[in-house]
Structure 1
Amino acid sequence: MNTRAGYERQNLTGEFAYSSFVPSSLPPNPSVVLDAEGVELLVAAHRQLALLEGLAARIPNMELFVSMYVRKEALLSSQIEGTQATLEDVLDPLVDVNVNRDVADVVNYIRATEFALRRRRELPLCSRLIREMHGVLMEGVRGQEKYPGEFRRTQNWIGGAGSTLKNARYIPPNVEDMNAAMSALETYMNAEDTLDPLIRTALVHYQFETIHPFLDGNGRIGRLLITLFLMEQNLLSTPALYISYFLKQNRIEYYDRMTEVRRTGNYEQWILFFLRAVAVSAADAVAAIDCLHALHEKNVGVLTDGTNKKQRTTLTKLFSYLEAHPMIEVKKTAEALGTSYNAVSRAVAVLIEKGILEQQAQVGKTRIYSYAEYLEILRGDT
């Protein structure tokens, strides 16, 4: 198999012989050419991203929404890999003590995202940053024996449970080719290119997944790269896009489209799928932010109605905290707000009375309360 996207290399001999894929460097040669549908999708994706950016600049509490979006994208991206966790699991105020293996995966993805957003101020998008992100993603969770923070030193392959090199669905580049391909990808991510930045983002994600430089966690790091590259290209100023919802909904097509590039060299059909994913995901994000903002405005009005000035101060502090932590328990919340337990307890009672908070559960003596309407909007796609 020798296509525009790469070729098969024969490795070892005799009964140990196998072939691995060697990806061609980006950009594709001959260059990407979009048909009329592709151009239309490209325009639509840019339009939706511009709308999302406009909202981000206009809404005063956008940072709070973004912190929730990071959690949502982490959850959805992990669910693609088969992680069994819910939004409530991830937002549980007792997550430190209730954490299980699946929730730990999502929590680490959140940490890796937050780490990458900070670190990109000091480093360009490069192999070093990617390895550091991977180190955070795999810290203390399953797969941690698979060289967290390091590119693989052995051959890996993709296939069902129990598959081997003999019957694998896909065998990424051998270690030597993988290191060369990652070096070329790093160069491409930081080079000038005449291709549209959204097309480049599609190519970067495909290429990373094809190289598969880690023994575990490639899918999650590859999807995190989408957000980081869009920010690097100044198409996003915040990680408010949760593209993993579309990719999860269309999981089989997602994998099949990347396989098709390797099989035939047809990058264009993958780019069309990716542009659709961006357009739909950005439109979803815009709709959700509109709903969250409307809910915020409505409840700010409810809070100021019929409360005295002293009580209103605590209620406002608690309400702001809720928009970043929509599931709470009183003790932890009082500590976070630097307010007495009793004051928070009284404020919680007022918010229940006003229909903003609901008691969700009781764990031992600890009562968990949730900002149910807010959670309902966020839960939409999970």
Structure 2
Amino acid sequence: MDIIMSKYDRNKPFNGLPALPPSGSIEEEAALLKKLVTASRALATVNANVQCLPNPDMLVNTIALQEAKTSTEIENIFTTEDELYKAVSDTAREERANPATKEVLKYREALWTGYRQLADSSSITLDLVVGIFQQIKESRSGIRPPQSQVVIRQGDSEFRTGEIVYTPPRGEGVVEGLMNNMLEYLDDDQKYPADPLLKMCIAHYQFEAIHPFQDGNGRTGRILNLLYLVHKGLLARPVLYLSKYIIVNKTDYYYNLGAVTQRGSWKEWVLYMLDAVERTSIFTNQLINEIADQMKATLDHGKKHIKWYTKEVNDVLFYQPYIRAKTIGDAAGVTSRTTLTKYMDELGQAKILTPRREGAEVYYVNDELIRILAR
């Protein structure tokens, strides 16, 4: 359903951006309701699987890290799996990581900081959103000032590079007013009684259209999506790998965003986002199942071939793909360097971990976990 919009000029601030909720009967569209049912079912399956894991937080360095990496790639910030896994495994390595890797790690930390803060809050507040942005950008700035001449331009690899494609709203109190409206729409289910998934789809467009910060809006908005699903009880942990769908279908993502701005084409946008939730849920569910199955297979294999092998050690191996010997030692209760060296050799002989030397440093690689995450 297209909604008639006020005349739009991409070279002028879009101060005519309508407040939420959208006008019209978008929530009654038959195609949207049908897609909402299948997306909700798929998401519920992921949530059930997450909660069945012995320690759901183990996904922080697996699926959530993949989400962080892919979300930053949408902003054309790239790092290698190798650099990322090394940085995660070692605090010292993280401190000297390249800038792109640090960007990914800041996204992951912002996601989990927001998740912890939301647990102590009854709603998603503007302060929470600003805090996410500040952690992503390592900045103390907040909502962009009214005089800021921020515009969105075509990327370097696109036709008509540098051309303005969108100018977000600006002016005294304009951005703050739109953000407060969006957050009220998300929070007040009595005044705005829409399904949470529909609200997430609608609010994600609104956030990107408001473009409240000078930079980092895309990453902040994608974190907000996951935190809202957690806040509404649709996810136990923010581990939905939503950015994978967006980057694979990046052209459609930006086209549908623009269609809402230019023509009020909400139906196509919401269908796109619901399809993203459904397909991402199916994919994330497969990852969780494969990780859980591999954990069990590795535990059985380890107990068969290594007499000291325990579930605690096995769990540690699936917290992250690259592991330091000390991490294994802590899990096994080993303090002797000689004993730990023997243990690491046994893990290598059993083909549970593969040693990888880089200068004076040795990383132990869980190749099976990397295989799963590389899908």
- Cα deviation for residue 272 of structure 1 reads 0.3
Residue 274 of structure 2 corresponds to residue 282 of structure 1: no
Q: Distance in 1 between matches of 2:267 and 2:319?
A: 40
- Cα deviation for residue 56 of structure 1 reads 1.8
Q: Distance in 1 between matches of 2:328 and 2:304?
A: 23
- Cα deviation for residue 191 of structure 1 reads 0.8
- Cα deviation for residue 348 of structure 1 reads 1.7
Q: Distance in 1 between matches of 2:188 and 2:5?
A: 19
Q: Between 273-282 and 119-128, report the one with greater CA deviation.
A: 119-128
- Cα deviation for residue 221 of structure 1 reads 0.4
Specify whether residues 183 and 319 from structure 1 end up closer, same or farther in structure 2 by C-alpha distance, changes over 3 A only.
same
Specify whether residues 301 and 334 from structure 1 end up closer, same or farther in structure 2 by C-alpha distance, changes over 3 A only.
closer
SS at match of 2:318: helix
Contact 2:61 2:320 in 1 (8 A): no
What residue identity is the alignment partner of 1:53?
Answer: N
Aligned counterpart, 1:312 = 309
Of 19, 44, 69, 1:75 maps to 69
Q: Mapping of 1:147-166 within 5 angstroms?
A: 148-153=140-145, 154-160=148-154
Specify whether residues 149 and 190 from structure 1 end up closer, same or farther in structure 2 by C-alpha distance, changes over 3 A only.
farther
What residue identity is the alignment partner of 1:191?
Answer: D
What residue identity is the alignment partner of 2:228?
Answer: F
SS at match of 2:194: coil
Q: Distance in 2 between matches of 1:332 and 1:299?
A: 18
Residue 205 of structure 2 corresponds to residue 213 of structure 1: no
Aligned counterpart, 1:14 = none
Aligned counterpart, 1:199 = 198
What residue identity is the alignment partner of 2:167?
Answer: I
* Residues 328-371 of structure 1, C-alpha deviations (whole Å, 9 max, x = no match): 23246546876323333222211111111112x32212122200
Specify whether residues 5 and 267 from structure 1 end up closer, same or farther in structure 2 by C-alpha distance, changes over 3 A only.
farther
Contact 2:313 2:331 in 1 (8 A): no
Specify whether residues 151 and 66 from structure 1 end up closer, same or farther in structure 2 by C-alpha distance, changes over 3 A only.
same
* Residues 87-113 of structure 1, C-alpha deviations (whole Å, 9 max, x = no match): 332221343254011001001001101
Aligned counterpart, 2:261 = 262
- Cα deviation for residue 307 of structure 1 reads 3.3
Contact 1:4 1:24 in 2 (8 A): no
With the length of structure 1 as denominator, give the TM-score of the two structures. 0.87
- Cα deviation for residue 299 of structure 1 reads 0.8
Residue 182 of structure 2 corresponds to residue 185 of structure 1: yes
Contact 1:8 1:19 in 2 (8 A): no
Residue 319 of structure 2 corresponds to residue 327 of structure 1: no
What residue identity is the alignment partner of 1:190?
Answer: D
- Cα deviation for residue 253 of structure 1 reads 0.7
Specify whether residues 18 and 276 from structure 1 end up closer, same or farther in structure 2 by C-alpha distance, changes over 3 A only.
closer
* Residues 299-324 of structure 1, C-alpha deviations (whole Å, 9 max, x = no match): 1111111433xx235xx443322211
* Residues 241-265 of structure 1, C-alpha deviations (whole Å, 9 max, x = no match): 1100000100111011011001101
Q: Distance in 1 between matches of 2:61 and 2:348?
A: 24
Aligned counterpart, 2:238 = 239
- Cα deviation for residue 122 of structure 1 reads 2.6
SS at match of 2:269: helix
Aligned counterpart, 2:40 = 46
Aligned counterpart, 2:221 = 222
Identity %: 25
Contact 1:202 1:274 in 2 (8 A): yes
Unaligned runs of 5+ in 1: 11-16
Q: Between 363-372 and 103-112, report the one with greater CA deviation.
A: 363-372
Of 84, 97, 100, 2:98 maps to 100
Contact 1:20 1:173 in 2 (8 A): yes
Unaligned runs of 5+ in 2: none
SS at match of 1:209: helix
* Residues 32-84 of structure 1, C-alpha deviations (whole Å, 9 max, x = no match): 14544323321110110111122122222432134422211111100110111
- Cα deviation for residue 8 of structure 1 reads 4.6
Contact 1:22 1:172 in 2 (8 A): no
Aligned counterpart, 1:343 = 339
Contact 2:295 2:315 in 1 (8 A): no
Residue 102 of structure 2 corresponds to residue 110 of structure 1: no
Q: Distance in 2 between matches of 1:215 and 1:337?
A: 47
Aligned counterpart, 2:118 = 120
SS at match of 1:30: coil
Q: Distance in 2 between matches of 1:264 and 1:287?
A: 37
What residue identity is the alignment partner of 2:98?
Answer: N
Aligned counterpart, 1:174 = 170
Contact 2:67 2:241 in 1 (8 A): yes
Specify whether residues 242 and 175 from structure 1 end up closer, same or farther in structure 2 by C-alpha distance, changes over 3 A only.
farther
Aligned counterpart, 1:27 = 21
Q: Between 335-344 and 44-53, report the one with greater CA deviation.
A: 335-344
Q: Between 114-123 and 240-249, report the one with greater CA deviation.
A: 114-123
Contact 2:129 2:220 in 1 (8 A): yes
Q: Distance in 2 between matches of 1:60 and 1:293?
A: 10
Q: Distance in 1 between matches of 2:101 and 2:217?
A: 18
Q: Distance in 1 between matches of 2:258 and 2:295?
A: 44
Aligned counterpart, 2:58 = 64
Specify whether residues 6 and 374 from structure 1 end up closer, same or farther in structure 2 by C-alpha distance, changes over 3 A only.
farther
What residue identity is the alignment partner of 1:127?
Answer: L
Q: Distance in 2 between matches of 1:125 and 1:362?
A: 45
Contact 2:150 2:167 in 1 (8 A): yes
Contact 1:9 1:22 in 2 (8 A): no
